[in-house]
Structure 1
Amino acid sequence: MSYLATEKQTALSAVTLASKLTEKIFRSLAGASTVSKDDKSPVTIADFGAQALVNAVLARDFPEDPVVGEEDSAVLQGNTELKAKVWDLVRGVVEEGLPGLIKDEEEMCAMIDRGSYAGSDKGRMWALDPIDGTKGFLRGGQYAVCLALIKDGEVELGVIGCPNLPVDKTAGIEAEGVERGIITHAIKGQGSFQRSLHSDSGDAQVTMRTISSTAEATFCESVESGHSAHTTQHSIATALGITAPSVRMDSQSKYASIARGSGDIYLRLPVSATYEEKIWDHASGVVIVEEAGGKVTDMFGKRLDFGMGRTLRANKGVIAAPVGVHGRVMEVVRGVMGDNIVAK
């Protein structure tokens, strides 16, 4: 059996289950049931349901492994109506696919709260974002269910479920009449792969596009300007000679897209001197892009350090690009950003 084969199957099962739950919730509720977190980003019942399902699968197969997850059950504990809605949907998925996985509302909340681990640079832990790109989910755009296994601060396994990405990597994200829903996954040292979320067509290896110059590249960037300054990225694109329009989408779907050649460069530029990236926003994507032939560092060429807790506080910004042009992209980013970045 290959390295981490059991962990991979568990992660694929968990992400597939959670991805299908999010689809079901969007179809039935059209994203109507939301609450506001302190940072004002919307949280849907899908976030809570997906985290409960993924953590329950992990608890079943790897009960000793801690989880760094984005959500906790405090909002549900204070809102019995919302908790009942989440449980009704989670129970339906459990009864259909994994009877007995979660027995009641309270166990569901306990599973959500398994994501409270503070993080460490020693031993194994999982990083989970139950819905990365919640605003994309709400608008019917791109979002992702992201799960990564981290060992001693290094990402060893990444799985990203992208329910709204076309299976055909050559199809645009707005294409009509195409099959949608993919699961992208990678184990360190074993390559990156894609499978359909809904059809049993098996795994297909994915690789980044081979480009000889940054002028041939396409940016893949966030829809939300608050996540990465669009005007700065436009200046960087101009300096790199890029003329193709950027592909804009939410979530770690961007990592999945560039890994399969549907884009080439992803930048996450700091919009605040004090902001620290969360580990669950990047862990899965890093290993998937690197195993597809890319390189991911911060703006100073440092590898992303997932052993510092729940954030990437040792890093500033993120640059993901094909290995051959990564250095040039980093040079231009630092030149354009100038005094707006602070070396760490």
Structure 2
Amino acid sequence: MTSGRGFSEDMRLAHVLADQADSISMERFKAQDLQVETKPDLTPVTDADRAIEEQLRISLSRARTRDAVMGEEFGTTGHGSRKWVLDPIDGTKNFVRGVPVWATLVALMDGDEAVVGLVSAPALNRRWWAAKGVGAWTGRRLENATRCTVSGVSTLGDASLSYSSLSGWEERNALDGFLDLTRSVWRTRAYGDFWSYMLLAEGAVDIACEPEVSLWDLAAVDVIVREAGGRFTDLSGTPGPAGGSALATNGALHDASLRTLGTATG
């Protein structure tokens, strides 16, 4: 499996894809004629979501002909061991309401491992990225970036916890454990979606968790958190972004968070 600087060209391609996505999303953000529909899972989708994913798929079909592609809006195409995972707009509800906290997520998976991840939030004028073995970074361009490093907080009582919402915890029969975690930490805020994980990678938040999420929500943030020095698992403690839930920490707080949540297995 390729590692280190072997992913540099893929990282550059991810930035090109993000530039394309930003151009489309910013043109449609707060547009008076924005088209919004409700999907079967009762979540919103806009014409911007679909236009972004369509454009990124076209670009990948030209630049990475052998790679598979998975996207939130149009499913999976191709059968390669390398797979690009796309979330055209993470935070669509914010996008629809004019809240600037939303982003395009682009990830590359090599087998079951996320090896490249990029999060672009153009309304915040922020971008984060990482590749296996070369660290996590934030800035506007590859050539002008600041390295991301998780915090050194080592006790729950000093920790800042971010989450998306309370919905989903009760369905997992995990609401009591989640509330126990919120009572154990110093501070809680619902920054939500990608933003929780990027703040964690920068050291501003120490724990982030969600009870129900998809691979396209997590693949990019997984590698960014890990390359920033953190730890990323599902709520059972299994590493990786494919478990349908997420617990990300600075590493030092992971085991204590799992114990408090009471969701770990094994």
**How far apart are the structure 2 equivalents of 1:138 and 1:251?**
15
What percent identity do the matched residue pairs reach?
A: 25
* CA deviation map 1:25-73 (0-9, x unaligned): 01433x741111111211111101110222222122112211011113x
Aligned partners of 2:166 and 2:29: how far apart in 1? 24
1:184-218 CA distance string (max 9 Å, x none): 10001110001138xx9811111111112121111
The alignment status of 1:269 with 2:228, answered yes or no, reads no
Alignment partner of 1:283 is 2:219: yes
Contact 2:82 2:110 in 1 (8 A): yes
Alignment partner, residue 40 of structure 1:
42
Report what 2:86 is aligned to. Answer: 128
Alignment of 1:299-314 (within 5 A): 299-304=235-240, 312=242
Mapping of 1:53-202 within 5 angstroms? 53-72=55-74, 115-117=75-77, 123-141=81-99, 142-164=101-123, 180-196=124-140, 202=144
Q: Is the 8 A contact 2:20 2:55 kept in 1?
A: yes
Instruction: Say whether residues 1:225 and 2:166 are aligned partners.
Output: yes
- Quick check: which one's strand share is greater? 2
Name the residue aligned to 1:237.
182
What residue is the counterpart of 1:325 in the other structure?
253
Equivalent AA in structure 2 for residue 243 of structure 1: W
Q: Assess if the C-alpha contact under 8 Å between 2:214 and 2:244 holds in 1.
A: no
One-letter amino acid of the structure 2 residue matched with residue 138 of structure 1: V
Counterpart CA distance in 2 for 1:14 and 1:278 is 21
Q: Give the total of aligned pairs.
A: 258
Aligned residues of 1:18 and 1:54 also touching (Cα < 8 A): yes
- What CA deviation, in whole Å up to 9, does each residue of 1:216-274 have, x standing for no partner? 1111111x433556964333121x2x132x2223422221121112211111125xxxx
3-state DSSP of counterpart to 1:252: helix
What is the TM-score normalised by the length of structure 1? 0.69
Structure 1 CA distance for aligned equivalents of residues 50 and 126 of structure 2:
21
**Secondary structure in 2 matching 1:18:** helix
Amino acid at match of 1:234: L
Partner of 1:4: 7
CA contact (8 A) 2:180 2:261 kept: no
Q: Unmatched 5+ residue regions in structure 1?
A: 73-114, 165-179, 271-276, 307-311
Aligned to 1:22: 25
Q: Which amino acid aligns with 2:65?
A: P
For 2:235 and 2:70, how far apart are their aligned partners in 1?
A: 25
Per the normalisation by structure 2, the TM-score is: 0.87
Q: Give the one of 153, 157, 160 matched to 1:215.
A: 157
The letter of the residue matching 1:290 is R
Q: Which amino acid aligns with 1:182?
A: R
Is the CA contact 1:143–1:250 (under 8 Å) kept in the aligned structure 2?
no
> What is the CA–CA distance in structure 1 between the aligned matches of 2:167 and 2:23, rounded to whole Å?
29
Indicate the SS of the match to 1:324: coil
Aligned to 1:83: none
Closer, same or farther: CA 207–139 of 1 in aligned 2, 3 Å: same
Alpha carbons of 1:116 and 1:317: their partners in 2 closer, same or farther (altered >3 Å)?
A: closer
CA gap 1:65/1:24 in 2 versus in 1, 3 angstroms: same
Contact 2:114 2:223 in 1 (8 A): yes
- Please, what is the CA RMSD of the aligned residues? 2.5
Q: Distance in 2 between matches of 1:316 and 1:43?
A: 20
**3-state SS of 2:193 partner:** coil
Q: Structure 1 residues 11, 228: CA separation in 2 closer, same or farther (over 3 Å shift)?
A: farther
